[in-house]
Structure 1
């Protein structure tokens, strides 16, 4: 199994970010072909108590790397990627192999 982890930095307006993310972006993500599961988590703290560098983390799970790449390279993936500039100043994306 593979996942795409997306780390969103703390936005200037967290309420506006959350509103757009939940009402516009998540429905786009759910349209991705081959998506097995989406997990979204708001970052609330760091282990040492310092200010977290991220506001939100999304994890998109796919059966294999080919499914992930095809999904993100297709029209639905391109639409979701294009929407990111509507609510975030940037994001860190990581492709991860999930091990048991």
Structure 2
């Protein structure tokens, strides 16, 4: 069953600084071994101007759970996750999930 790793970024302290480095983070994600595809998304702002529950997400897709775990010790994955942690000034949640196909 396909597996994805999702990183959910909470609202950063400085959104402008986050955005200026985000493209580099996405490039690092592309180099993670075994990656099948990637989706990135930005949470819509609330119409009333209050903070959103999250800011951005990155979904990394792999063929299965073993393939998602395999690259975690590689230099490429290490560089990606290290940079993600540095950018996550507001916090970050990481999830491993089975992708259920309807």
Using the size of structure 2 for normalisation, the TM-score is 0.85
**Residue 17 of structure 1: CA displacement?**
0.4
RMSD, aligned α-carbons: 1.7
| 1:3-22 alignment runs, 5 A limit | 3-22=4-23
Residue 39 of structure 1: aligned partner = 39
**Residue 82 of structure 1: CA displacement?**
1.1
CA distance in 2, matches of 1:17, 1:85: 11
Structure 1 residue runs without a partner (length 5+): none
| 1:74-93 alignment runs, 5 A limit | 74-89=74-89, 90-93=91-94
Q: How many residues align?
A: 97
Residue 51 of structure 1: aligned partner = 51
Structure 2 residue runs without a partner (length 5+): none
Encode CA deviations 1:15-37: one digit per residue, 9 max, x unaligned.
21011011x21111100111011
